[in-house]
Every structure is written in C-alpha cells, then in structure tokens.
C-alpha cells in the first residue's frame, strides 16, 4: 500500500483495499519514476468496491469537513504535465464532517462503472484510472490518498478480418507482393504471411518486419505525433531472386503492445503499423508501412 511520506507528517494514514484484492489479477505498471508496480486489473462495467481505512497517528484526532472517495479516469498530456483531464469522475461521500479518533473503516462501492478507455502509458500521453480519497480539512489542507488501478477491455474477435495483400515496387528495380493473413490481430496473435519477390534488381542484404506504434496527441494544429519501433524482426537474410517467397511468422507475445486506440476522448490516438523494410547492400532502405488493428482478446486463462 502507498504511504505518503513528506516533510510534514500527515495526521493520518489512509489505505485502500479492494474487496477481492487477494484474488484479483495484478499487472505491472511503470510509474513516472521508472519504478514498476503491480496494480489490480479491472474492466469496464465491473463493480469496484472495497474498504478505506483511515488510521490517525498515535491518538491524534483528525478533524475533517467530510471524507469522500472519487473514481477518476484521467488523461495527462506530458507537455501539459500535472494538468489532468478527467473524463470520468464518480464521487461517493463517505463521512459527514466530524472527527476521527481512531482507525475507521469505510466501505465503498462503484457499481458497474463505465470505463470505456484502457489504461495507457505512452510517450506523450498517459491515461490512468485512480481512486482518490480525500479527507477534507479546512485550514490544514486536505489529506489525499490515490490508488491506481488498471483497466483493460476485452473485445470479441472482429467479424470481418480481411488479409492485407499488396503489391508494391520501384519501377524496374524491385517488385514485391506481400500478404499478411489478417488486418486485425489480438495481442497474443501471430502474424502469418509471405513476401513474394516479383522482380529483384537490387542487391538486398536483409529484410525486417518492424512493428511500429504511432501515438498522436492533441488536435488540429497542436497535433503531436510520436512513432516508436517496438519490434524489429528479421524475416530474411541475403538476396533473394525473382520468384522467391519468404514466409512471415511473427509472434506478438514478446512485445509490449496495447490495443489500437482511436481518438480517445479527442485527446489522443494510438495506431500500429507493420513496416516491411528491405535493406540493400549500400544500406539503403526500402519500406512499406501497413496499418494493423490490435485488439485485446479475452484470455482463456485469466
């Protein structure tokens, strides 16, 4: 549990526990300071319930103007750090103004919470869900305690999932046809496909398949796009000749991927691309990028 340590010793210790905290799946989340912590995992429409303990220090009494717990869904832009945009905000009043002398426990429950977006930690943007407990005090400043939790939403397999098939080339130089078996992959999926060489006039050294994430934040003129390469997978070594067909089989499991997010609350989008890169002997790169949609499939085991 979190402890708030500061110069000023807070008057009380607040801890939050979830009802099924022992059994609930924990997933690692990277915090701002690089630390990885385990947070409980929820999904949309779940009831988030638990208990909040307020434990005053050594017989100190805590005067307050009320205790409340909020469930917040926040988007934080890194260029605008500290300024949270709350897209979800639910409040439960736990106590009327009064004094707490000894450990006091408040049960809480947000039932069937609509949490449409997934937790996301990007380069320029972060989407998080948090429980915020506030002990409101008039003069001494409120005591606030946060508890992060993770939301992941599972979707059923898409009904239409066409393969990606395309012929590209540079005239009289290189013509290839590539095919990926689907356009939509779940996160533990395997990309299967093949690359067919129709014409090869350049001396190719190798061929890689990159998985790239494109995160765009902001809107209009302020749109900021950040692209990172999450995976670089070598498909071919050496120079093929005309008529060769190179198999593609890439397991997505080892990579840290998220589902595709489109226009989350008008704040940001995350898209994924497969980038086929051919490198010739003079290290020139020829590439073709294709968007794929990633989705989170309900795992059997969880």
Closest distance of CB 254 from other proteins, Å: 5
Q: Which residue, 223 or 253, is less far from other proteins as judged by CB?
A: 253
Using alpha carbons, list the distances in angstroms from residue 219 to 68, 133, 154, 266, 269.
34, 32, 27, 7, 10
8 Å CB contact between 116 and 154 = no
Strands 125-135 and 143-151: antiparallel
Q: Which residue, 54 or 248, is less far from other proteins as judged by CB?
A: 248
Closest distance of CB 281 from other proteins, Å: 10
Contacting positions for other proteins (CB under 8 A): 204, 206, 231-241, 244-247, 249, 251, 253-254
Closest distance of CB 290 from other proteins, Å: 20
Closest distance of CB 257 from other proteins, Å: 14
Closest distance of CB 196 from other proteins, Å: 11
Q: Give me 286's structure tokens.
A: 């020829």
Q: Which residue, 184 or 205, is less far from other proteins as judged by CB?
A: 205
Q: Which residue, 31 or 242, is less far from other proteins as judged by CB?
A: 242
Q: Which residue, 90 or 246, is less far from other proteins as judged by CB?
A: 246
């Amino acid at each position: 549990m979190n402890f708030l340590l500061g110069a000023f010793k807070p008057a009380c210790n607040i801890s939050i526990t979830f009802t099924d905290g022992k059994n609930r799946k924990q997933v690692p989340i990277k915090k701002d300071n690089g630390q990885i912590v385990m947070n409980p995992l929820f999904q949309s429409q779940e009831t988030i319930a638990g208990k909040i303990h307020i434990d005053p220090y050594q017989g100190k009494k805590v005067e307050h103007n009320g205790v409340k717990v909020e469930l917040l869904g926040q988007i934080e832009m890194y260029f605008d750090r500290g300024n949270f945009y709350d897209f979800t905000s639910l409040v439960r009043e736990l106590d009327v103004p009064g004094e707490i002398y000894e450990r006091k426990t408040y049960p809480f429950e947000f039932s069937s919470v609509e949490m449409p977006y997934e937790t996301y930690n990007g380069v320029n943007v972060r989407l998080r869900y948090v429980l915020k407990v506030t002990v409101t005090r008039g003069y001494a400043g409120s005591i606030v305690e946060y508890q992060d939790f993770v939301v992941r939403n599972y979707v059923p397999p898409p009904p239409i999932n066409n393969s990606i098939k395309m012929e590209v080339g540079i005239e009289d130089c290189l013509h290839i046809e590539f095919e990926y078996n689907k356009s939509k992959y779940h996160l533990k999926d395997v990309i299967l496909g093949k690359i067919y060489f129709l014409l090869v006039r350049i001396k190719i050294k190798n061929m890689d398949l990159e998985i790239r994430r494109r995160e765009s934040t902001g809107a209009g003129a302020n749109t900021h796009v950040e692209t990172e390469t999450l995976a670089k997978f070598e498909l071919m070594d050496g120079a093929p000749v005309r008529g060769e067909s190179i198999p593609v089989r890439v397991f997505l499991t080892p990579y840290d991927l998220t589902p595709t997010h489109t226009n989350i609350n008008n704040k940001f989008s995350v898209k994924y691309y497969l980038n086929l890169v051919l490198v010739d002997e003079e290290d020139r790169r020829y590439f073709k990028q294709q968007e794929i949609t990633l989705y989170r499939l309900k795992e059997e085991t969880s």
